[in-house]
């Protein structure tokens, strides 16, 4: 399973995700938490300190809930890694990054069909004017 | 099974041009319904669809459509939506397939259904 | 009107380049059709019954002559010599080839136009009052707001994959011509008690399978809070809107199932957490946008035009057209002209290349180079001197654009229906044409008075049938086209969803049924000033239902 990163495709390291409801019981630091797309980001608020990675599910690339969840998590102050998991296409990569994601997990078939150049090219698109003005 | 089965053809839209196409017996695509491969039973219909679906590089949205057969065994559409697809807009007979294919200009009522 | 700055220009040009690449990636197999589809839709490209269809945005219905000439040129160069005005202030081309679409978009970009977000499950082209900037009853021009919303919503990274499409409409006049209560968000510009400008925010209106009149979630939203508040609504919708059923995915269903108060609380909670200043535009940027919409340099003219009065006295046909197709302008000596794209027997909203060019010429010569496209599928010359009306009329007559039927029975809204649309269950256009022919006598049509017929070819209701005084919905029943009639709908500030009259009619029966309905109305109305909708409200469904279903008597 390749991981799309700013540096290129990388192999996705083996990670054990815990579920949101398991966080309270888990006592190690640097947790990786798996977040389904119907999660209310607020339930993670008390635990953000001990989370290093949040993987947000995209059941379909046409299901944009993950973008709002990511934004809410960043607004709550989460500074660890946000990873989109499931199904995104390269054209969505810049949108995912704008919403606070760092990485995207894709499958081998997708990596073959949409090689890294396509993901990189997507990040080089000109931003819409409102985004430019807000950023500047 | 065969008793209730309505003959079927595969229709889709051409990827590049967008116009209505039908799958022929060589699993290629034709603009003419008369040249469409006809499935006379369920298995044949499934087989045609199986040949059509992977052809994403040529067509969009292949599907099975019911047809009836005239005395010469040529297919004609039974549903009015498919009739329009063989012709073009009913308010502009100068456009679409009907523009180049005068036999498609027969009034809709004559072929039944409306 | 708004002009692109360097950011707009660079973005739109680059977007065309991206789309060109996406088309190539679709052809080379990098993108599957399932993946390509939302991308092409977000660039206005549909696949319809007979061909692709490109839907070009005319943001808030405003354009100039150069843009109109480009639309005309595209119709000839890439299409079949005509375009279709839609109920969302777009123009559709019905026959483009996939490979030509990037070139069309390039030509559009050259005149500051695009097809961005005219389809797809995203925030769609923002619509506004088609008399914006001209109407005598206007409190404030809605277009700067619409432009701000356009900029904010364009490729908003969070809101491109919503549960369903999302439509925003803005009106700056208490007489709502933008159907704001039938939109996902309707914004009504108003002033609070302190005289400050702001908006009434209406959420959850919509037509389609389950029609709803929008609910007010904020009586008064200060102007500066506009974008943060919209962002709060959209975030709540993106997270909470249903994704399990396409027919339940619009925000109207969320409002309905959650309850207005509960949803309002959710929106307000989200809004309270927003970092408003990071979302709102700088006041200087807002001012820059507003300045583009400054009124043109009007001349000082008397309220009465001698030339016009003389021309009206000399030509009854012209006089009728002036009475029917012009509206009160805020500037003395000027008027708003509705250019009817509803010639008797023509497809409602269709304009040929030649007609588009004539309209462009007239805009340039007589209307400060400005045009509007109305959701009622007509073109508008917003700033015409009363003195110039005879010349404008003469040119329109020549081009087949002078039908004196604005707001009358033959000014029918009709969606493309089964003559073009892949989703249709029945035809719309020929139904409209039949009704137009039955009421082609201008004297009779004027005697009937305001009469809004709206026709959709399926439950998606692009033809706004629910809010027509008479709504006609084309369905399929037992393998043939069947038309359901609703009565008493209203698209204005007093929005109402029409009542279903009863069983549907066959294609051939619709026209005669409408004739019976009109005859009943004429005999039942209190006097000539009582519009059909008023008579309907006074008497209710029954007498009209009786007329509609009174075929036996007719036949006898
Ligand atoms: S109402 Fe239905 S038929 Fe008409 S344009 Fe919309 S989707 Fe197509």
Rounded CA gap, C320 and A121, in Å? 59
Count of CB atoms situated within 10 Å of the CB of C400: 17
Q: Do C50 and B114 touch (CB under 8 A)?
A: no
| pTM confidence score | 0.95
Q: Give buried/exposed letters for B4-43 (b at 16+ CB in 10 A, else e).
A: eeebbbbbbbbbbbbbbbbbeeeeebeeebebbbbbeeee
Q: Which residues of chain C have a CB within 8 Å of the CB of A35?
A: none
- Kindly state whether B19 is in contact with chain C, defined as any CB-CB distance less than 8 angstroms: yes
C340 burial level (CB within 10 Å; 0-12, 13-18, 19+): buried
Q: Scanning the structure block, which residue is given the tokens 């005697």? A: C447
Contact C77, C93 (CB under 8 A): no
Domains of chain A as residue ranges with CATH: 2-135 (3.20.20.70)
- Kindly state whether B20 is in contact with chain C, defined as any CB-CB distance less than 8 angstroms: yes
Going from the C-alpha of C317 to that of each of A131, C313, C388, the distances in angstroms are 53, 10, 16
Tokens of C551: 């075929």
C473: CA distance to ligand 1 center in Å?
A: 10
Contact C254, C237 (CB under 8 A): yes
Rounded CA gap, C206 and C412, in Å? 20
Rounded CA gap, C350 and C356, in Å? 10
pLDDT of residue B112: 38
Going from the C-alpha of C497 to that of each of C142, C183, C405, C500, C546, the distances in angstroms are 25, 13, 24, 9, 20
Q: Is the CB of C308 under 6 A from ligand 1?
A: no
pLDDT of residue C554: 52
Q: How many pairs of residues across B and C have Cβ atoms under 8 Å apart?
A: 75
Tokens of C154: 């364009």
Tokens of A108: 């081998």
Helices C283-292, C143-153: inter-axial angle, 10-degree rounding = 120
Say if C and B touch: at least 3 Cβ pairs within 8 Å. yes
Q: Closest ligand 1 atom to the C-alpha of C421?
A: 8
Of A65, A91, A95, the CB nearest to C238: A65
C215 closest CA partner among C247, C255, C188, C248:
C255
Q: Which residues of chain A have a CB within 8 Å of the CB of C5?
A: 129
Our CA-based measurement puts residue A41 at a distance from the nearest CA of chain C, in whole angstroms, of 10
User: Which residues lie closer than 8 Å to C331 by C-beta, 6 or more apart?
Assistant: C134, C295, C298, C301, C383
C402 closest CA partner among C390, C387, C385:
C390
- Pairing relation of β-strands C379-385 and C370-373? antiparallel
Rounded CA gap, C3 and C111, in Å? 10
> Per DSSP, which regions of C324-399 are E strands?
326-328, 334-339, 350-352, 370-373, 379-385
Rounded CA gap, C534 and C34, in Å? 48
Which contiguous run of DSSP H or E holds residue C47?
A: strand C45-47
The total number of residues written for chain A in this structure: 136
Cα angle for residues C217, C232, C131 (degrees, 5° grid): 60
Which contiguous run of DSSP H or E holds residue C16?
A: helix C6-28
Of C33, C419, C480, the CB nearest to B90: C419
Q: Is the CB of C31 under 6 A from ligand 1?
A: no
DSSP annotation of C438: H
What is this model's ipTM? 0.97
Backbone angles phi, psi at A58, to 5 degrees: -120, 95
A40 closest CA partner among C226, C269, C247:
C269
Checking if the pLDDT of B2 tops 80, the result is no
Rounded CA gap, A76 and C158, in Å? 17
Rounded CA gap, C19 and C91, in Å? 19
Count of CB atoms situated within 10 Å of the CB of C551: 13
- Kindly state whether B72 is in contact with chain C, defined as any CB-CB distance less than 8 angstroms: no
Q: Give buried/exposed letters for C208-233 (b at 16+ CB in 10 A, else e).
A: beebbbbbebbebbebbbbbbbbbbb
Q: Is the CB of C341 under 6 A from ligand 1?
A: no
pLDDT of residue C552: 53
pLDDT of residue A113: 95
- Kindly state whether C5 is in contact with chain A, defined as any CB-CB distance less than 8 angstroms: yes
Contact C410, C367 (CB under 8 A): no
Rounded CA gap, C224 and C108, in Å? 32
Rounded CA gap, C419 and C303, in Å? 46
Query: Side-chain half-sphere of C175: how many Cα atoms within 13 Å?
Result: 9
B77 closest CA partner among B90, B89, B64:
B64
Which contiguous run of DSSP H or E holds residue C45?
A: strand C45-47
Contact C547, C517 (CB under 8 A): yes
pLDDT of residue B107: 41
pLDDT of residue B106: 43
Query: Sheet harboring C185-191: ordered strands across?
Result: C127-128, C168-171, C185-191, C197-203, C215-222
Tokens of B52: 């059509």
Q: Do C97 and B88 touch (CB under 8 A)?
A: no
Q: Give buried/exposed letters for B50-74 (b at 16+ CB in 10 A, else e).
A: ebbeebbebbbebebbebeeeeeee
pLDDT in tens, chain A (136 residues): 899 999 999 999 999 999 999 998 887 889 999 999 999 999 999 999 999 999 999 999 999 999 999 999 999 999 999 999 999 999 999 999 999 999 999 999 999 999 999 999 999 999 999 988 876 4
Checking if the pLDDT of B108 tops 90, the result is no
pLDDT of residue B110: 36
pLDDT of residue A19: 95
pLDDT of residue A28: 82
Query: Side-chain half-sphere of C288: how many Cα atoms within 13 Å?
Result: 10
Helices C226-240, C260-273: inter-axial angle, 10-degree rounding = 120
Q: Which residues of chain C have a CB within 8 Å of the CB of B113?
A: 479-480
Q: Where are the alpha helices (DSSP H) in C384-424?
A: 389-398
pLDDT in tens, chain C (556 residues): 899 998 999 999 999 999 999 999 999 999 999 999 999 999 999 999 999 999 999 999 999 999 999 999 999 999 999 999 999 999 999 999 999 999 999 999 999 999 999 999 999 999 999 999 999 999 999 999 999 999 999 999 999 999 999 999 999 999 999 999 999 999 999 999 999 999 999 999 999 999 999 999 999 999 999 999 999 999 999 999 999 999 999 999 999 999 999 999 999 999 999 988 889 988 899 999 999 999 999 999 999 999 999 999 999 999 999 999 999 999 999 999 999 999 999 999 999 999 999 999 999 999 999 999 999 999 999 999 999 999 999 999 999 999 999 999 999 999 999 999 999 999 999 999 999 999 999 989 999 999 999 999 999 999 999 999 999 999 999 999 999 999 999 999 999 999 999 999 999 999 999 999 999 999 999 999 999 999 999 999 999 999 999 875 555 4
Q: Express each pLDDT in B47-104 by its tens digit.
A: 999 999 999 999 999 999 999 999 888 999 999 999 999 999 999 999 999 988 655 5
CA C114 to chain centre: 17
Tokens of B50: 């199986």
Q: Do C419 and B91 touch (CB under 8 A)?
A: yes
pLDDT of residue A135: 61
User: Which residues lie closer than 8 Å to C487 by C-beta, 6 or more apart?
Assistant: C469, C470, C471, C498, C499, C501, C517, C536, C541, C544, C545
C431 closest CA partner among C447, C419, C423:
C419
Cα angle for residues A18, A21, A27 (degrees, 5° grid): 60
Q: Express each pLDDT in A28-61 by its tens digit.
A: 889 999 999 999 999 999 999 999 999 999 999 9
């Amino acid at each position: 399973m390749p991981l799309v990163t700013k540096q290129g495709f990388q192999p996705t390291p083996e990670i054990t995700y815990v579920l949101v409801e398991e966080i309270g019981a888990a006592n190690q630091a640097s947790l990786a938490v798996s977040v389904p797309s119907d999660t209310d980001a607020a339930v993670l608020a008390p635990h953000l300190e001990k989370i290093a990675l949040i993987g947000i599910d995209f059941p379909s690339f046409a299901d944009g809930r993950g973008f709002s969840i990511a934004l809410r998590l960043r607004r709550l102050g989460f500074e660890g890694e946000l990873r989109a998991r499931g199904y995104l296409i390269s054209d969505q990569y810049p949108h995912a990054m704008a919403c606070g994601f760092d990485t995207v997990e894709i499958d081998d078939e997708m990596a073959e069909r949409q090689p890294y150049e396509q993901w990189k090219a997507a990040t080089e698109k000109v931003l819409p004017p409102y985004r430019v003005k807000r950023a500047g | 099974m065969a008793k209730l089965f309505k003959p079927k053809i595969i229709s889709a839209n051409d990827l590049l041009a967008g116009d209505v196409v039908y799958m022929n017996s060589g699993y290629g695509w034709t603009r003419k319904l008369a040249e469409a491969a006809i499935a006379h039973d369920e298995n044949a219909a499934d087989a045609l669809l199986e040949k059509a679906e992977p052809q994403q590089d040529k067509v969009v949205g292949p599907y099975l459509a019911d047809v009836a057969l005239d005395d010469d065994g040529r297919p004609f559409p039974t549903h009015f939506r498919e009739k329009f697809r063989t012709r073009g807009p009913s308010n502009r007979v100068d456009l679409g397939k009907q523009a180049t294919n005068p036999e498609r200009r027969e009034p809709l009522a004559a072929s039944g259904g409306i | 009107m708004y002009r692109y700055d360097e950011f707009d220009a660079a973005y739109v040009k680059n977007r065309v380049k991206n789309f060109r690449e996406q088309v190539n990636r679709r052809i080379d197999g990098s993108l599957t059709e399932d993946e390509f589809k939302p991308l092409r839709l977000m660039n206005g490209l549909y696949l319809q019954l007979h061909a692709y269809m490109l839907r070009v945005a005319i943001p808030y219905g405003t354009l100039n002559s150069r843009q109109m000439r480009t639309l005309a040129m595209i119709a000839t160069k890439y299409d079949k010599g005509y375009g279709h005005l839609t109920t969302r202030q777009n123009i559709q081309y019905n026959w483009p080839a996939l490979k030509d679409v990037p070139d069309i978009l390039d030509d559009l970009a050259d005149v500051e136009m695009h097809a961005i977000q005219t389809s797809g499950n995203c925030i769609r082209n923002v619509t506004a009052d088609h008399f914006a900037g001209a109407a005598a009853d206007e409190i404030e021009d809605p277009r700067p707001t619409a432009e701000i919303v356009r900029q904010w919503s364009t490729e908003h990274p969070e809101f491109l994959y919503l549960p369903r499409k999302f439509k925003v409409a803005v009106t700056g006049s208490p007489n709502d011509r933008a159907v704001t209560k039938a939109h996902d968000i309707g914004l009504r510009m108003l002033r609070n008690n302190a005289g400050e400008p702001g908006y009434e925010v209406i959420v959850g209106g919509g037509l389609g399978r389950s029609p709803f009149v929008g609910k007010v979630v904020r009586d008064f939203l200060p102007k500066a809070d506009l974008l943060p508040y919209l962002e709060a609504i959209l975030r709540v919708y993106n997270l909470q809107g249903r994704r399990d059923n396409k027919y339940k995915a619009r925000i109207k269903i969320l409002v309905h199932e959650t309850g207005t108060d509960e949803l309002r609380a959710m929106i307000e909670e989200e809004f309270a957490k927003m970092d408003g200043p990071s979302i709102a535009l700088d006041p200087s940027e807002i001012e820059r946008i507003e300045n583009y919409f400054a009124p043109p340099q009007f001349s000082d003219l008397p309220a009465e035009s001698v030339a016009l009065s003389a021309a009206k006295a000399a030509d009854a046909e012209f006089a009728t057209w002036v009475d029917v197709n012009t509206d009160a302008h805020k500037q003395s000596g000027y008027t708003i002209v509705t250019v009817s794209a509803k010639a008797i027997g023509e497809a409602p909203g269709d304009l040929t290349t030649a007609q588009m060019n004539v309209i462009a010429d007239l805009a340039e010569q007589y209307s400060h180079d400005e045009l509007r496209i109305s959701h009622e599928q007509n073109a508008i010359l917003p700033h015409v001197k009363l003195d110039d009306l005879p010349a404008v009329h003469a040119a329109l007559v020549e081009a087949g654009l002078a039908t004196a039927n604005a707001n009358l029975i033959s000014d029918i809204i009709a969606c493309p229906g089964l003559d073009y649309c892949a989703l249709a269950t029945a035809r719309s256009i020929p139904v409209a044409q039949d009704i137009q022919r039955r009421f082609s006598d201008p004297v009779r049509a004027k005697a009937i008075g305001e009469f809004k017929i709206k026709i959709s070819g399926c439950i998606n209701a692009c033809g706004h049938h629910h809010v027509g005084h008479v709504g006609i919905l084309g369905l399929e029943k037992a393998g043939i086209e069947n038309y359901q009639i609703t009565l008493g709908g209203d698209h204005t500030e007093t929005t109402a969803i029409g009542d279903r009259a009863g069983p549907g009619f066959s294609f051939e029966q619709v026209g005669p049924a409408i004739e019976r309905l009109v005859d009943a109305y004429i005999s039942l109305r209190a006097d000539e000033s009582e519009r059909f909708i008023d008579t309907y409200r006074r008497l209710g469904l029954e007498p009209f239902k009786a007329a509609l279903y009174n075929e036996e008597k007719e036949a006898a």
